[in-house]
Structure 1
Amino acid sequence: MSETVVADFVGRFFAPGVEGDPPTGRIILSQRRLVLAADGYKETIPLSSVFDVKVGQVPPEMAGYFNDTVTVAYRRDDARAVAAIEGNDTNIDRFATVLFKVLLNGTKALTRHPAKVGGRVVDSDAQKARLDVTHGELAFKGSDPFTVTLSNVVSVERADRDLGNGKHPVISFRHIEDGTAVTSQVGMTSGRLTNVLGRYIRLRYADVKEELEDVELGEEETEVLVAAYSAGPGVSLAKVVDIEPQRLTMLLNGLIDEGLLVDTEEGTELTAKGRVIVGQRIESVNT
């Protein structure tokens, strides 16, 4: 390939034309295509044909071969095709992130931000923007730029909305900005990229939400988390919550054990899991 290679590793894969056990071969990703190559086999997937990417969801027909994969759905000879790729944990996680970035970086979008603040609809004009995917953030660059921290996203849905070009599928997602639940709407230049963007946003917080399924908090624990968010690092929580000091220490230790708070040199801070809980609480208050 003449274009720059952004990922190149050895792994197993299953793709059209593979018979029997999945082969081990090279997985090569450039800015334009994904190539799967093994002895006697090569599949080239133009990235312009990719319409879906799933991480950690093994297709049923491949469940007997793989435990964890990146699955790429694409158009091949006017038909739907699927390739599943498996590597070691480090390679496959890095590959998934790079693949999403290559698919989405620099793409044009129509945005409405904010579309809602709390439960109130805002009459914001749709704006043209260019998407920049960075670590943990989506930056929409245009005449009215904004950035979304993905760990602050509390819900995502795909729906038909009019962003000034008629009704088309858009990604509508709620996230926390300065203690308020804000809804943003984004429509990409094509339905396939809109779908990929939705997958990426869900991927970045899905693992955190799954970890929270078994976490049960009382009102005091939730109050402490919200106070930690509002106060920020370096501020003593004893000054902002009306809880007896000994009880507060016990609550803080429990929240640290749950992985919702962490002690740093600057003080006690929320983890990604803690931010999701606070986001859900703020969203419920504002809607």
Structure 2
Amino acid sequence: MSDTEKKIADTRGQYLQAVSQGQRLTDAEWRNCRIVLTTERIALVGDSKRQIALSEIDRLTDRFDVNQQSAGVSEYVGFHVDDDVLLVTASNHAAFETDLYRAALDGAVVLAQHPALKGGVVQDTEWTKGRLKVSDETVRLALADGQAVDIDRADIGDLSVEEKQVSGAERTVIQVEHSEDDISVETHLAGEEFQATVLRTMLEDSAEANRADLDLSATEKRVIMALHSGVSPFDIPNFVGIDVEKTEAIFDRLVELDVISVLRERTEVALTTKGRRVAGDRMGEQ
């Protein structure tokens, strides 16, 4: 281990070689191992020792069910390295995933545009450098201008990925929607290929966990869109074209569905993560 390499985690788990040199191994089995994770590599120590340099990982996946052995495990990480795929599961898998994200991203410098959108409105914000810090709950971005942006992983309403020109190069841009002071904002992030791969995987997992799947009426969706665009709850009846009693009934239903939360009893509401997700889906339909 080099002077700069630091150990992040040391735990027990299993690994399964799903693909070797491009060939799917349908008879592969899980093997018990010790998992040592550092800032530079992951080592799997069992009957033999396997090492994967973090910089060599092409992408991560949460499912790659090559056979019944792999399908029978509920949580694992799939490491795609060249023509190989290695599946790894830890005894405390949620903690291991966070440690993996920390190993790959803590201290990484990325390009950020924050906020790129605010309340659904495009902002004239320049790209700037930022340094990442990952925890169980948040992704913190320390920007070069002194701003500290906290993206709550449980507050991510939507996420999309595009290839764009950023600072004179074609880059993968991760567009993540979250909230600041109860206002929907969108932060755009771009980095080196490996960092972008890990960051995208982590944020997609959070977005998927927060995904809204609700049966809402057209009027309820219009109320959500109005709140998303910054209309005051007091102005919803006139803005949407419904009476106060109907508005109150819709608010009650949306509170029950965890789409909005009450800030002041019967007077003020704000969209939750699920509500912002509905608004994002609605905007995509228009």
State the shift of 1:34 in Å.
0.8
Q: Which residue of 1 aligns with 2:41?
A: 33
State the shift of 1:44 in Å.
0.9
State the shift of 1:183 in Å.
2.9
State the shift of 1:81 in Å.
2.1
State the shift of 1:104 in Å.
0.8
Root mean square deviation, CA, Å: 4.2
For 1:1-287, what aligned pairs fall within 5 Å after superposition? Answer: 4-15=6-17, 20-38=28-46, 40-55=47-62, 57=63, 59-66=64-71, 67-75=73-81, 79-88=82-91, 91-144=92-145, 145-147=147-149, 148-188=151-191, 190-209=192-211, 212-213=212-213, 215-218=214-217, 219=219, 252=252, 258=257, 274-281=272-279
Q: Name the SS of the counterpart of 1:195 in structure 2.
A: helix
Q: Name the SS of the counterpart of 1:60 in structure 2.
A: coil
Give, in whole Å, the separation in 2 of the partners of 1:222 and 1:87.
Answer: 44
Q: Give the ranges of 4+ consecutive aligned residues of structure 1 lying more than 4 Å apart after TM superposition.
A: 1-4, 16-20, 218-224, 240-245, 247-252, 254-263, 266-272, 282-287
Contact 1:11 1:24 in 2 (8 A): yes
Contact 1:29 1:35 in 2 (8 A): yes
Identity among equivalent pairs (%): 19
Give, in whole Å, the separation in 1 of the partners of 2:11 and 2:270.
Answer: 32
Long gaps (5+) in structure 1: 231-236
State the shift of 1:14 in Å.
0.6
State the shift of 1:179 in Å.
4.7
Long gaps (5+) in structure 2: 238-242
Relative to structure 1, the CA distance from residue 9 to residue 62 in structure 2 (aligned partners, 3 Å threshold; closer, same or farther) is farther
Structure-2-length-normalised TM-score: 0.72
State the shift of 1:130 in Å.
0.9
Relative to structure 1, the CA distance from residue 260 to residue 71 in structure 2 (aligned partners, 3 Å threshold; closer, same or farther) is same
1:24 counterpart letter in structure 2? N
2:273 counterpart letter in structure 1? R
Relative to structure 1, the CA distance from residue 7 to residue 267 in structure 2 (aligned partners, 3 Å threshold; closer, same or farther) is farther
Contact 2:106 2:133 in 1 (8 A): yes
Give, in whole Å, the separation in 1 of the partners of 2:183 and 2:281.
Answer: 7
Relative to structure 1, the CA distance from residue 127 to residue 22 in structure 2 (aligned partners, 3 Å threshold; closer, same or farther) is same
Give, in whole Å, the separation in 2 of the partners of 1:136 and 1:217.
Answer: 30
Q: Which residue of 2 aligns with 1:234?
A: none
Relative to structure 1, the CA distance from residue 270 to residue 60 in structure 2 (aligned partners, 3 Å threshold; closer, same or farther) is farther
Contact 2:161 2:173 in 1 (8 A): yes
Relative to structure 1, the CA distance from residue 60 to residue 142 in structure 2 (aligned partners, 3 Å threshold; closer, same or farther) is same
Give, in whole Å, the separation in 2 of the partners of 1:73 and 1:167.
Answer: 25
State the shift of 1:197 in Å.
1.0
Contact 1:180 1:283 in 2 (8 A): no
